[in-house]
Amino acid sequence: MLGGLIDAGGDVETIKEILQLIPRHFSRCKSINLETKHVWSHGFKASRIEFKILEEDEEIQIGKILQAALDMTKEAKLSKRAVDFVLGSVNLLIEVESKVHGTNSSDTHLHEAGSADTLADIFGVAAACDSLKLFDGEITSTPVAIGGGSVTFSHGTLGVPAPAVMEILKMHHIPMKGGPETVELTTPTGIAMLANLAHTFNAIYPEMIPDKVGYGAGRRQLVSSPNLLRIVLGSREGSITNEVIDMLETNLDDISGEVLAHTLQRLIDSGAKDAWLTAAQFKKNRPGNVLHVLCAVQDMEKFSRMIMEETGTLGIRHQRWGRFILGREFKTLNIEIAGRRFEVRVKLARDAAGNLIRAKPEFDDIGSISKTVSMPARYIEQLVSKEIERLVKSEREHLA
């Protein structure tokens, strides 16, 4: 992943600078250096990274690697999104390792994931994504190729995927597929990072214009396939796009409000384009709700199963719709509030000529700032709106 991001233009010097924080905050690591090289895999050129690490051979408790990550994020020059990605990835590794071994987090020891290269992988990817401004956009992944055969690690030999990988796939509802080689192709650290990066998982690429392509190479030489991870950076042109989506609906009259709220949140978190409830009255005058879900065509079966699992419904109606959408992009505003600086994501919508039609801040960011500075959310929203007005005015003056 890191090799692919560097191949796509990630800033190597920024990555190296952040990696030098590891020996200062992780006692097991004495020194670390990053080397990048071009290699060929089955005739395809790619970038491969290698960490030269001097570290002590000791078993690490979970608390030490988490504390190191927390200390590094305070010193590293990373965006809030990048910090969230780092801590989300580390905490996910801790959670699944504790779960698969049946221990409390404080008692769990990390073996393969307890070395300095775990921190190097996660912080390196965070820095690369920051330098490419990927956290401001949409990140989509294809289904994960897990490989096959068996893998040998500190607890013995087991079938692929490793238990921690399977647990993350299950927890985050990530689609997987076996092969194409009978070796381990997905590691716990890799899938933990992907779970905290990707917003959606689709069998086909989204509509976009490719701008940059990066290929990251692994060390292992596979028998019949190039051992590469491809990363494509693209953009939408801001024109009105016609796309086909699926609408799923089901009537619910015997389910609690708590379960409904949980179901809506899970659908959105799993990549549904939208999900909502409509109040209704059914046979025998029973009050209830109609659950509506918009999703990509290729995700229809996934969301149908999810709705059935969560609600217990026996049937789901399905319609295929066409819709027009404006091109969207995200920008991050840096704004000072109550003497502190915060980042706020702003969603921009443009017409076919590229003219700005709408700019709307992400309310989650506003709510977070409101809690941090103990001010009403509506007041924060007003301050952010003024910054957006300046952004729009500046852009129009530039175009003029």
Mean pLDDT over 88-115 rounds to 76
Closest CA to 1 of 89, 175, 129, 147: 129
The CATH number of whichever domain residue 251 belongs to comes to 3.30.70.1380
pLDDT in tens, 170-216: 988 899 999 999 999 999 999 999 999 998 888 888 878 899 999 99
Only one residue has tokens 């994504």, namely 129
Q: What is the pLDDT of residue 248?
A: 97
Closest CA to 291 of 259, 323, 320: 259
Last residue of a domain, one of 300, 325, 350: 325
Residues 128, 176 within the same domain: yes
Residues 94, 211 within the same domain: yes
Residues 162, 48 within the same domain: yes
Residues 303, 339 within the same domain: no
Last residue of a domain, one of 185, 208, 235: 235
DSSP states along 298-364:
GGHHHHHHHHHHHH--S--EEEEEEEEE-EEEEEEEEEEETTEEEEEEEEEEE-TT--EEEEEE-HH
Per-residue pLDDT for 107 more than 60? no
pLDDT in tens, 285-327: 899 999 999 998 878 889 999 999 999 999 999 998 888 877 7
Q: What is the pLDDT of residue 108?
A: 59
Residues 182, 107 within the same domain: yes
pLDDT in tens, 243-294: 788 999 999 999 999 999 999 999 998 889 999 999 999 988 899 999 999 9
Residues 338, 358 within the same domain: yes
Per-residue pLDDT for 114 more than 90? no
DSSP states along 236-270:
--SS-EEEEEEEEEEEESS--HHHHHHHHHHHHHT
Range of lowest pLDDT (121-125, 151-155, 242-246, 276-280): 151-155
Count of structural domains within the chain: 3
Residues 338, 309 within the same domain: no
Q: What is the DSSP letter of 182?
A: S
Distance CA 361, CA 365 (A): 8
Kindly indicate the confidence band of residue 53, based on its pLDDT and cuts at 50, 70 and 90. Answer: very high
Closest CA to 133 of 245, 211, 249, 54: 211
Q: Is 218 helix (H, G, I), strand (E, B) or coil?
A: coil
358 DSSP β-pair partners: 349
Q: What is the pLDDT of residue 32?
A: 96
Kindly indicate the confidence band of residue 155, based on its pLDDT and cuts at 50, 70 and 90. Answer: low
Both tokens of 342, joined, read 């915060």
Mean pLDDT over 334-340 rounds to 90
Residues 114, 76 within the same domain: yes
Q: Is 152 helix (H, G, I), strand (E, B) or coil?
A: strand
Residues 25, 164 within the same domain: yes
Kindly indicate the confidence band of residue 111, based on its pLDDT and cuts at 50, 70 and 90. Answer: low
Task: Please give the residue range of the domain that contains residue 304.
Answer: 241-325
Distance CA 123, CA 127 (A): 6
Residues 138, 206 within the same domain: yes
Q: Dihedral of the CA atoms 185, 158, 203, 250 (nearest 10)?
A: -160
Kindly indicate the confidence band of residue 19, based on its pLDDT and cuts at 50, 70 and 90. Answer: very high
The CATH number of whichever domain residue 334 belongs to comes to 3.10.20.300
Per-residue pLDDT for 352 more than 70? no
Distance CA 351, CA 128 (A): 31
Residue 62 Ramachandran class (φ > 0 left, ψ -120 to 50 alpha, else beta): alpha
CB–CB of 89/196 below 8 Å?
yes
Residues 35, 148 within the same domain: yes
Amino acid at 186: T
> Which contiguous run of DSSP H or E holds residue 93?
helix 80-101
Please, what is the average pLDDT of the chain? 89
Q: What is the pLDDT of residue 226?
A: 94
Amino acid at 145: A
Q: What is the pLDDT of residue 354?
A: 67
Whole-model pTM: value is 0.68
Residues 31, 169 within the same domain: yes
Distance CA 151, CA 160 (A): 6
Q: What is the DSSP letter of 272?
A: -
Across 103-140, b (16+ Cβ under 10 Å) vs e yields eeeeebebebbbbbbbbbbbbbbbbbbbbbebbbbeeb
Last residue of a domain, one of 325, 359, 381: 325
Range of lowest pLDDT (44-48, 80-84, 111-115): 111-115
